[in-house]
Structure 1
């Protein structure tokens, strides 16, 4: 049973790309949903009238604030054991040498269970309340990721990876088995009847799946109204090879489009080297983009022009892309996003860099929009489910020192400063509580 809560203190939430609301007030949460939002003055009046009987009241301290949970639009659960390895290799070589051999080990369900329990805990520790996961090629192994997310109460979109093109590692299935396993996976996930967990059809990318398989997977997604996830235009060598194998297509996006992969429930990772025509096509198809600045940099894939994508109307969120990315934290992705965008502005001056308020949006509400989940999560609005973080900026043992400050702790400037401090210099030690649909899933140092 979810405890009914009232949280009183500084509330921080995006209302748009460059609109960050930092206000004192309170939320009432019933059955995991925000049912009321009000001012500090209202709270004091109602509390004096004993109007909150039956609710557990949490009063935040002056150096704390409440914010929406982070949304990770793209990460690879089975790649976490490789975190920090092989990042001096280009994408295609990295896949063959490090990634495919590791992922093949997840056919052993005990191994998969042990790893995935740690993976979900790690993301929750870092404040990721919603994650969009790639699993492995193996059906049984990927179901262990589903079980871990269910048991630890993380909101998750989970895909069993699909591949039928031969590679040096021998890590692929034939088409018939792949379609059968993907169908079974979707049905097994849906059988949990858990509204926090959704199956995602997951063709790895156009060099791992032929057109026949991708068309069948698109049909499967349409049949069950599932999300689809894949990768697009991550690396120049990858783009060139896709076009060589598909001479009838003028660009990478057209390969997916001819297979009916591009839908309004499709999330594509990277999008570093899109042409203007591809951007227009993705906009028309209402495809979401997962920007993964860490892996784009570490694997030397390129600097994604996020401002350009946003200016063209694409829905963009952030992804950690472990283990191409070297951090499991969306807080890190927020900083990398600002860095990459600033580098592009310094180099070319074509587009204004992403600022901290916009980066906050991309890590929360923007990610929810990219995953077509913004009707449920991403901001602290009435009617949405309560996925949220309590941030203690000057947490004992944390990375931020509490120096004397002339600003009053109740001023808006002071409160905005707390948010900036956390975004630029904080880490998981500052995330003292994590809620998913009203459930407390991290308290202090412990994932519960």
Structure 2
């Protein structure tokens, strides 16, 4: 990782990623207040204790005010406080939350071929995933994936690994070491007719035993699941036998661990599910009939859910991960986020690497906006057409608070409030000077400044919109998880 930004005040002997120092963040803070509204806090101070929790937020706060009034109230000593202050063009934003990503597919990002979902799985996905039983290869892939997602401001990821226990455990170890909050899923897939012979669980019992083994490992490295949590992961209904699905449901009932899987991604998949589970009335009913549709269930895609299925998902309290880039890349369809919201379903964003071509949640947010416009264009003229479109505020909600709700983290992360953990990113936009040159106030300009040019006359709403539609990892200057600096760019 890079060196800390030069505007950081560092007490002697205390590094930027240290967990043994209190921290003060000064400047501009932007976060979702509601789905429809971003809140802008200017010239504010956010105080984060040694556990990574926000303990105070002060308006109109500078270092002098903090030292004179706030530090004594908190019992802090000035010489032991790290201070990070925004420069012009910079603001703090909550860390992004990726509710659906296949770490094991990261090398294939952008290689989604010319075929359908099921063909793509057999051609690209299963061979790559199976090869990660080579732990040296898995270490290269997983380390690169975690570092890349952190560089894009992703502080939490819900990862699919592979069926291999050792490789799955390695992903958990890497996330813990690099400091990313993560849900780690050992993929369960045991259907002999649908899964390749070289890449499947031997039996429902073997699948369940492997899931337990991975859970046990994560418990040894993070006993309270405070940063790394297991997540039960039936790949999708066609890959699992009924016995396997019921076994995972029983494990969920025993442990209350979250569940992640896929649902209604494309039409041929839905037809396949119908043929494999004729006793269930729908794809959603398959999971419900097997005990897997719960308040802790994350359903990726949900492109073609019927009204009845959406209502069932809402009644069970299950959540949806919207993966717009993947749905477009694999020609799966256009998911209707507002329709899900209106039926009471919580929604977050997923990059779905590698069906999705980018590990950036910001890219997923802009694609969510664009896909919603395609949904609107498919509707008749009138009010419904306009309301189908998602605003900049709404897609950034999906990327932060929405994802936190989907993963059961809404009390911990997703915004800037006292009691929440400091999972955040410092975003820097290039300021254009009188000569038309750009600089980022961290000594970098030109191409490294990124694609977002700020001229000074933009409102804050306009700045955020420009970042949403033009930003990339060059704008992500620093990233923290639970108060620990986990990425910096200079």
Alignment-derived partner of residue 132 in structure 2: 106
Alignment partner of 1:13 out of 19, 31, 51: 31
Alignment-derived partner of residue 289 in structure 1: 320
Cα distance change on mapping 1:147 and 1:403 into 2, 3 Å: closer
Alignment partner of 1:157 out of 180, 183, 196: 183
1:38 matched to 2:58: yes
Tell me the CA shift for residue 416 of structure 1. 2.7
Taking structure 1 as the reference length, the TM-score comes to 0.95
Alignment-derived partner of residue 178 in structure 1: 207
Cα distance change on mapping 1:294 and 1:214 into 2, 3 Å: same
Alignment partner of 2:46 out of 23, 27, 50: 27
1:266 matched to 2:297: yes
Tell me the CA shift for residue 347 of structure 1. 1.9
Conserved in 1, the CA contact under 8 Å of 2:365 and 2:395?
A: yes
Map 1:363-374; keep pairs closer than 5 Å.
363-374=399-410
Equivalent position SS for 2:40: strand
Conserved in 2, the CA contact under 8 Å of 1:69 and 1:388?
A: yes
Q: List per-residue Cα deviations over 1:191-246 (Å, max 9, x = no partner).
A: 21251000000000110001110010111122122000000000100001101111
1:344 matched to 2:375: yes
Equivalent position SS for 2:31: strand
Map 1:327-406; keep pairs closer than 5 Å.
327-349=358-380, 350=384, 351-394=387-430, 395=440, 396=445, 397-400=448-451, 402=453, 404-406=455-457
Tell me the CA shift for residue 430 of structure 1. 0.4
Conserved in 2, the CA contact under 8 Å of 1:393 and 1:421?
A: no
Alignment partner of 2:472 out of 422, 427, 434: 427
CA RMSD of aligned residues (A): 1.6
User: For residues 342 and 297 of structure 2, what CA distance do their matches in structure 1 show?
Assistant: 20
Runs of 4+ in 1 over 6 A off after TM superposition: none
Moved more, 109-118 or 161-170: 161-170
Alignment partner of 2:248 out of 217, 222, 232: 217
1:169 matched to 2:196: yes
Alignment partner of 2:217 out of 188, 197, 207: 188
Alignment-derived partner of residue 313 in structure 1: 344
User: For residues 48 and 357 of structure 1, what CA distance do their matches in structure 2 show?
Assistant: 36
Equivalent position SS for 2:87: coil
Equivalent position SS for 2:237: coil
Alignment-derived partner of residue 171 in structure 2: 145
Moved more, 38-47 or 188-197: 38-47
Alignment-derived partner of residue 410 in structure 1: none
Alignment-derived partner of residue 159 in structure 2: 133
Conserved in 2, the CA contact under 8 Å of 1:189 and 1:199?
A: yes
Structure 1: gaps of 5 or more residues = 408-412
User: For residues 314 and 378 of structure 2, what CA distance do their matches in structure 1 show?
Assistant: 26
Q: List per-residue Cα deviations over 1:253-273 (Å, max 9, x = no partner).
A: 111001100111110100000
Conserved in 1, the CA contact under 8 Å of 2:452 and 2:471?
A: no
Moved more, 189-198 or 163-172: 163-172
Conserved in 1, the CA contact under 8 Å of 2:429 and 2:454?
A: no
Equivalent position SS for 2:107: helix
User: For residues 428 and 279 of structure 2, what CA distance do their matches in structure 1 show?
Assistant: 55
Map 1:107-126; keep pairs closer than 5 Å.
107-126=133-152
